[in-house]
Amino acid sequence: DAGVIQSPRHEVTEMGQEVTLRCKPISGHDYLFWYRQTMMRGLELLIYFNNNVPIDDSGMPEDRFSAKMPNASFSTLKIQPSEPRDSAVYFCASSTSGGATDTQYFGPGTRLTVL
């Protein structure tokens, strides 16, 4: 299994630009999560999906952030327009509701720097 795949691994952009982060969950997993990690706030949930439907987006900072999951194997997190305070590492994770495990499997993350 390839694990959770995220792209790009690093992104440097200028304030005001649109940024799109991508995630491919583990095949067969029906839950997908987006988390953000910063020094100040630690690891925090942004949004999660179940069967491609957003379940909880209460962690999405503001309207500049949007996330989609058009199919079971792909999700995007978009920031438009980006601001320097969005600089962070963004993690995607997936899990399955099948079986007795609630383990989440994390991707390697996308390190975003907004100048």
What is the rounded CA–CA span in Å between residue 28 and residue 69? Answer: 15
What is the rounded CA–CA span in Å between residue 28 and residue 14? Answer: 36
The region of 17-25, 50-58, 67-75, 79-87 touching other proteins under the rule CB under 8 A is 50-58
What is the rounded CA–CA span in Å between residue 107 and residue 91? Answer: 6
Q: Is residue 25 at the binding interface for other proteins, with CB under 8 A as the rule? A: no
Which residue's CB is nearer to other proteins, number 9 or number 16? 9
CA distances in angstroms from 11 to 14, 30, 33, 112, listed in the order given = 10, 27, 20, 5
CB of 74 to other proteins, least distance (A): 19
Select the residue interacting with other proteins from 42, 70, 98, 99 (CB under 8 A).
42
> What is the widest separation between alpha-carbon atoms in the chain?
44
Q: Is residue 74 at the binding interface for other proteins, with CB under 8 A as the rule? A: no
Contacting residues toward other proteins, per CB under 8 A: 31, 33, 35, 41-45, 48, 50, 55-56, 91, 93, 95, 101-109
